[in-house]
């Protein structure tokens, strides 16, 4: 193959490095847009008794001030999910209640930022402050309700606002309690994961205006342009046909921009004033007033025989969705869906629990989407089980993990009638290769390298999915232009992962032309076909497959048209390398294109492809960590990380490798650094890069990535996804390595130096007593 | 307020509000390669050169730039492309939002450090955050660009 499987540079890469205008704020720079700012609640929970915005309204340069009295009362969710969304409709544009510190109270639009900020300061709000529900463990059945009204859900998700429950789930295969009772060894532990921030470099932003046809034009840094249009249509009560969405390059997303956090604010200002408006979230707003990863508490119970046969896997989960339920049910479900099939040989498994409302900054989608949290808990417990059984944790996994060709009822695509089959997996090979690379037999479990430094070794495995089975469906169109080049239009958002490039590779491969002969456009929803968006690890698998189908469709159409033009039968035309041939007659695609747009041909060829899958084939990773722990300070440093990846066929090795490296570092941050703290009154105390530390390039050693390809029969060229699975293995592998270095298990993230040191000191004191 | 500066080799009189930071002024004047990521001098996205040295333009008052020479990546397109080719060959630019500030720092580092090792490179660039790449591909690109092992 000429392009697929090659490490092709990103088609837009050089322009981005050279600083060319590409992002939302670059393209709107010459707008005299009104600057939109939000007045935010200082209280975690309060009722707004009165608002006096008269001074702000009277100020020169202030064009618009909106409070809850001025906006529609519609309730909605901002989650970027296919309709009907599983997320509860628990938001209003502005409400007369506030539910977290930072919740929106008023919208101000002024000619410049200084005026908008001055106007905000003049708004007087009379709050009746109420007691918030801040603790995840105390929220269910608390008398302090986050939402004290009936919340609409599109279908049953186990929602119960009267108990602060956003969603519930119970799923059991076999008899977990019986298998646990029959087990020789039972591990039962509680794990806590934090509300990790996306920390994408470009904060949330959107610009709105009315176009010449009076349509609301929205340019936004978003992963979900089609869902944004649907949300705005509902929220503002205007038909979708009256909304035009433009989506420039994104400065990172990681799932944050799968929630339409900001678009509605400038949109309502433009609808009220008729003027262009824009909003750019500050870094503190991005941390505190958009979404984060769901903090979770997970209780894992594992039962196994003495020989290492796992009999039961039980996970009980409490997920903290904060004040609003964006992605609350789905992230919460995925915790079980993307962990239980791993140890699918066990006779029984169960996933159950609740996603819970609290009066804290809202949670939402973040790369890994629940699998990350579930993997930390389950894989930590597996490592502890291996230690208690005195079995090599790699061997324990090789013995119990589901193999390619085996079935499991919790695999995506399973129905009550039929269990789905794992069609592709090289996870066993990934483990064996990773073990070699990290020097497992020689190094495991720890090596003392100096008086106070020990290098511990740890591992974990993980899986994710590729697209959402049975729901999300994407389309691609490829048009043959008048002189023989092609336009590929699609609506997946390229937020850096390189989807435009990978789709270009697939199209050029099938069309048998240079990649430059295919122009990729994904900017304007008016001209590009439906795509749910860049999420659920669907770019290469779902939109990629749609592109493959579109390209094949166009080749077929070109053959048909050439047959007409050459006056031969359709079956006799063959296409290769840009030339259509029938016996001794032939024409190039340029000649065909020129013919079609002339009086002689009079036709347009547009290949179309649509793909949605009944399955969501999981990619896999085996991750191995070497962590150097300083026993005098407790500081842990990942000195070597090995990730061996099964993403099916690797479509672009360079882009895939960077996805893995970036994801591993995000996982290292979650494991060791990224510390989310709220004050006792519910204010996010880590709302800047000064307080919320993401890994810098000095915070870890090397990362090594290898691919063990498998062939996924439903994927384009055998490909599966890679975007999300990459951040799941580091937290449990690091925790395992630290346990091997210090003898102490850490079950709460992040694992800070003080936690390691205090635990180590306590252990030594206990040993001395 | 008003003052005279040199931007990318040309004299530019700047008009700005008191308290305005250089990154805001530059973007307002159309130097769109300057990105802003944090407003606290923590991320390195807004890096420009001031009299030839990399600085964080979100933390420098425009009022302090009178008579100074400011350089953005718009003035260094040839060098940026030369380094950029190594970056895209690794796939390391990803979302690209941090790339202009990062590239300016790399170009300054090349002028300053002679035959640096990985540790020195990482130290020089520690203030340039990137959430996409995991830094590994950037390091591979830098080493090839600078011809260091």
In whole angstroms, give the CA distance from residue A325 to residue A198.
17
pLDDT in tens, A463-492: 999 999 999 999 999 999 999 999 999 999
pLDDT in tens, A4-40: 999 999 999 999 999 999 999 999 866 689 999 999 9
H-helix segments, A124-193: 136-139, 176-182
The pair of three-digit structure tokens given for residue A495, joined into one six-digit string: 């937020």
- Give me the pLDDT at residue A212, please: 94
Residue A453 pairs in a beta bridge with A630
What is the mean predicted confidence (pLDDT) over A497-507?
97
Residue B148: band (very low, low, confident or very high) from pLDDT cuts 50, 70, 90 = confident
Query: Considering chain A, what percentage of its residues have pLDDT values greater than 90?
Result: 98
Residue A726, chain B, CB below 8 Å: the answer is no
Q: Nearest CA to CA, how far is A682 from chain B (Å)? A: 23
Within 66-125 of A, beta carbons closer than 8 Å to B belong to 114
Taking an 8 Å cut-off on Cβ atoms, the answer to whether B91 and A655 are in contact is: yes
- Give me the pLDDT at residue A767, please: 86
- Give me the pLDDT at residue A282, please: 98
- Compute how many other C-beta atoms are within 10 angstroms of the C-beta atom of residue B9: 9
Within 185-224 of A, beta carbons closer than 8 Å to B belong to 198-203
What is the mean predicted confidence (pLDDT) over B28-56?
96
> Among A615, A616, A730, which residue's Cα sits nearest to residue A372?
A730
Q: Which residues of A touch B32 (CB under 8 A)?
A: 19, 21, 26, 29
Q: Does the structure show a pLDDT above 90 at A638?
A: yes
- Give me the pLDDT at residue A25, please: 95
> Among A164, A170, A149, A153, which residue's Cα sits nearest to residue A79?
A153
Complex ipTM tops 0.95? yes
The pair of three-digit structure tokens given for residue B23, joined into one six-digit string: 């990154």
Instruction: Tell me which residue has tokens 């119960």.
Output: A160
Instruction: Tell me which residue has tokens 């039980």.
Output: A314
- Give me the pLDDT at residue A420, please: 94
What is the mean predicted confidence (pLDDT) over A141-169?
97
Query: Any idea what DSSP says for residue B11?
Result: E
Taking an 8 Å cut-off on Cβ atoms, the answer to whether B134 and A663 are in contact is: yes
Q: Nearest CA to CA, how far is A247 from chain B (Å)? A: 14
Residue A20, chain B, CB below 8 Å: the answer is yes
Residue of chain A with shortest Cα separation from B33: A19
Q: Nearest CA to CA, how far is A367 from chain B (Å)? A: 12
Helices B136-146, A653-668: inter-axial angle, 10-degree rounding: 120
- Give me the pLDDT at residue A77, please: 98
Query: Any idea what DSSP says for residue A213?
Result: T
- Compute how many other C-beta atoms are within 10 angstroms of the C-beta atom of residue A427: 29
Whether A653 contacts A5, CB under 8 Å: yes
Identify each DSSP E strand in A597-657 by its residue range. Answer: 606-612, 620-630, 636-646
Residue A16, chain B, CB below 8 Å: the answer is yes
Taking an 8 Å cut-off on Cβ atoms, the answer to whether B35 and A201 are in contact is: yes
Q: Name, in order, each residue with C-beta under 8 angstroms of A32's C-beta and a sequence gap of 6 or more.
A: A276
List strands edge to edge, sheet with A620-630. Answer: A446-448, A453-463, A620-630, A636-646, A700-707
Handedness of CA A105, A110, A112, A118 (dihedral sign): negative
Predicted TM-score (pTM) of this structure: 0.97
Taking an 8 Å cut-off on Cβ atoms, the answer to whether A496 and B83 are in contact is: no
Residue A442, chain B, CB below 8 Å: the answer is no
| Interface probe, candidates B134, B138, B143, B145, chain A, greatest A C-beta count within 10 A | B134
Q: Name, in order, each residue with C-beta under 8 angstroms of B7's C-beta and a sequence gap of 6 or more.
A: B26, B29, B31, B70, B71, B72
Three-class SS state of A694: coil
pLDDT in tens, A367-391: 999 999 999 999 999 999 999 999 9
Instruction: Give chain A's radius of gyration (CA, Å).
Output: 27
What is the mean predicted confidence (pLDDT) over A735-755?
98
- Give me the pLDDT at residue A662, please: 98
- Give me the pLDDT at residue A139, please: 98
Taking an 8 Å cut-off on Cβ atoms, the answer to whether A689 and B85 are in contact is: no
Q: Nearest CA to CA, how far is B19 from chain A (Å)? A: 11
Query: Any idea what DSSP says for residue A543?
Result: I
In whole angstroms, give the CA distance from residue A253 to residue A381.
31
Taking an 8 Å cut-off on Cβ atoms, the answer to whether A9 and B130 are in contact is: no
For B97, the closest of A201, A652, A689 (CB atoms) is: A201
Query: Considering chain A, what percentage of its residues have pLDDT values greater than 70?
Result: 100
Identify each DSSP E strand in chain B by its residue range. Answer: 2-7, 10-15, 47-50, 53-56, 69-71
- Give me the pLDDT at residue A769, please: 76
Taking an 8 Å cut-off on Cβ atoms, the answer to whether B134 and A664 are in contact is: yes
Q: Does the structure show a pLDDT above 70 at A72?
A: yes
Residue A316: band (very low, low, confident or very high) from pLDDT cuts 50, 70, 90 = very high
Helices (H) and strands (E) in chain A, counts: 20, 29
What is the average pLDDT score of chain A?
Answer: 97
Query: Higher pLDDT residue, A6 or B148?
Result: A6
Taking an 8 Å cut-off on Cβ atoms, the answer to whether B100 and A17 are in contact is: yes
Instruction: Tell me which residue has tokens 């066990």.
Output: A346
Q: Does the structure show a pLDDT above 90 at A526?
A: yes
pLDDT in tens, B65-95: 999 999 999 999 999 999 999 999 999 999 9
Whether A411 contacts A419, CB under 8 Å: yes
Taking an 8 Å cut-off on Cβ atoms, the answer to whether B35 and A703 are in contact is: no
Taking an 8 Å cut-off on Cβ atoms, the answer to whether A19 and B127 are in contact is: no
- Give me the pLDDT at residue A30, please: 64
Backbone angles phi, psi at A738, to 5 degrees: -65, -40
């Amino acid at each position: 193959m000429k392009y697929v499987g090659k490490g092709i540079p990103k088609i837009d890469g050089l322009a981005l490095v050279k600083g060319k205008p590409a992002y939302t704020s670059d393209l709107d720079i010459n707008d005299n847009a009104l600057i939109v700012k939000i007045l935010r609640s200082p209280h975690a929970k309060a009722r707004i008794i009165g608002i006096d915005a008269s001074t702000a309204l009277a100020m020169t340069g202030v064009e618009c001030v909106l409070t809850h009295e001025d906006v529609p009362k519609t309730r909605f969710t901002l989650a970027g999910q296919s309709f009907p969304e599983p997320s509860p409709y628990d938001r209003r544009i502005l409400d007369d209640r506030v539910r977290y510190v930072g919740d929106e109270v008023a919208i101000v639009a002024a000619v410049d930022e200084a005026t908008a900020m001055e106007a905000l300061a003049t708004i007087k709000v009379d709050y009746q402050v109420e007691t918030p529900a801040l603790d995840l463990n105390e929220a269910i059945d608390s008398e302090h309700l986050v939402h004290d009204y009936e919340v609409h859900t599109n279908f049953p998700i186990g929602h119960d606002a009267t108990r602060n429950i956003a969603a519930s789930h119970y799923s059991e295969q076999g008899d977990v309690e019986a298998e646990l009772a029959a087990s020789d060894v039972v591990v039962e532990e509680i794990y806590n994961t934090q509300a990790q921030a996306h920390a994408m470099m470009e904060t949330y932003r959107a610009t709105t205006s009315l176009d010449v046809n009076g349509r609301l034009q929205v340019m936004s840094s978003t992963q979900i342009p089609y869902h944004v249009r649907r949300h705005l249509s509902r929220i503002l009560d205007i038909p979708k046909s009256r909304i035009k969405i433009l989506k420039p390059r994104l400065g990172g997303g990681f799932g944050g921009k799968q929630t339409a956090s900001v678009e509605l604010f400038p949109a309502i200002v433009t609808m009220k004033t008729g003027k262009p408006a824009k909003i750019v979230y500050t870094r503190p707003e991005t941390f505190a007033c958009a979404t984060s990863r769901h903090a979770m508490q997970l209780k894992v119970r594992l039962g196994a025989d003495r020989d290492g046969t796992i009999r039961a896997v039980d996970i009980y989960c409490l997920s903290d969705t904060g004040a609003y339920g964006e992605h609350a049910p789905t992230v919460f479900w995925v915790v079980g869906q993307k962990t239980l099939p791993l140890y699918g040989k066990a006779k029984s498994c169960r996933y159950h629990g609740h996603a819970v409302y609290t009066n804290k900054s809202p949670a939402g989608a973040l790369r890994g989407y629940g699998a990350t949290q579930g993997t930390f808990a389950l894989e930590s417990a597996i490592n502890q089980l291996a230690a208690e059984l005195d079995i090599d944790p790699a061997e324990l996994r090789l013995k119990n993990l589901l193999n390619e060709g085996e079935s499991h009822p919790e695999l995506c695509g399973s129905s009550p009638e039929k269990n789905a089959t794992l069609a592709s997996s090289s996870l066993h090979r990934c483990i064996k290769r990773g073990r070699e690379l990290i020097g497992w037999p020689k190094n495991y479990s720890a090596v003392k390298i100096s008086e106070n430094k020990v290098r511990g070794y740890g591992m974990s495995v993980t899986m994710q999915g590729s697209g959402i089975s049975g729901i999300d469906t994407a389309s691609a169109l490829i048009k043959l232009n008048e002189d023989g080049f092609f336009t590929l239009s699609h609506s997946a958002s390229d937020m850096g992962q390189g989807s435009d490039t990978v789709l270009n590779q697939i199209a050029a491969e099938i069309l048998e032309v240079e990649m430059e002969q295919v122009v990729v456009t994904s900017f304007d929803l008016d001209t590009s076909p439906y795509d749910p968006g860049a999420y659920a690890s669907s770019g290469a698998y779902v939109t990629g497959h749609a592109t493959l189908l579109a390209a094949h469709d166009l080749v077929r159409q070109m053959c048909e048209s050439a047959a007409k033009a050459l006056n031969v039968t359709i079956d006799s035309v063959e296409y290769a390398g840009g030339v259509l041939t029938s016996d001794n007659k032939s024409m190039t695609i340029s000649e065909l294109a020129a013919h079609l747009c002339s009086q002689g041909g009079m036709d347009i060829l547009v290949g179309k492809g649509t793909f949605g899958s009944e399955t969501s084939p999981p990619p896999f990773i085996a991750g191995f960590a070497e962590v150097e722990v300083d026993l005098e300070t407790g500081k842990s440093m990942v000195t070597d990380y090995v990730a061996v990846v099964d993403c099916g066929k690797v479509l672009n090795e360079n882009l895939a490798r960077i996805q893995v490296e970036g994801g591993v570092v995000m996982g290292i941050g979650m494991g060791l650094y990224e510390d989310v703290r709220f004050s006792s009154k519910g204010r996010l105390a880590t709302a800047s890069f000064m307080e919320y530390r993401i890994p810098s390039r000095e915070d870890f050693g090397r990362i090594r990535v290898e691919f063990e390809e498998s062939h996924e029969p439903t994927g384009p060229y055998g490909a599966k996804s890679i975007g999300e699975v990459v951040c799941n293995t580091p937290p449990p592998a690091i925790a395992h390595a630290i346990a091997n270095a210090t003898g102490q298990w850490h079950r709460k993230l992040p694992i800070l130096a003080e936690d390691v040191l205090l635990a180590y000191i306590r252990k030594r004191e206990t040993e001395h007593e | 307020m008003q003052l005279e500066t040199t931007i990318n080799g040309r004299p530019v009189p700047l008009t700005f509000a008191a308290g305005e930071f250089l990154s805001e002024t530059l973007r307002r004047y159309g130097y769109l390669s300057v990105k802003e990521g944090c407003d606290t001098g923590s991320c390195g996205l807004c890096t420009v050169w001031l009299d030839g040295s990399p600085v964080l333009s979100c933390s420098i008052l425009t009022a302090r730039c009178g008579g100074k020479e400011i350089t953005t990546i718009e003035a260094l397109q040839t060098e940026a492309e030369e380094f950029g080719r190594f970056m895209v060959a690794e796939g390391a630019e990803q979302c690209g939002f941090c790339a202009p500030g990062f590239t300016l720092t790399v170009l300054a580092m090349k002028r300053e450090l002679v035959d640096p090792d990985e540790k020195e490179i990482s130290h020089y660039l520690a203030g340039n955050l990137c959430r996409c790449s995991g830094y590994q591909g950037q390091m591979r690109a830098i080493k090839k660009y600078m011809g260091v092992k």
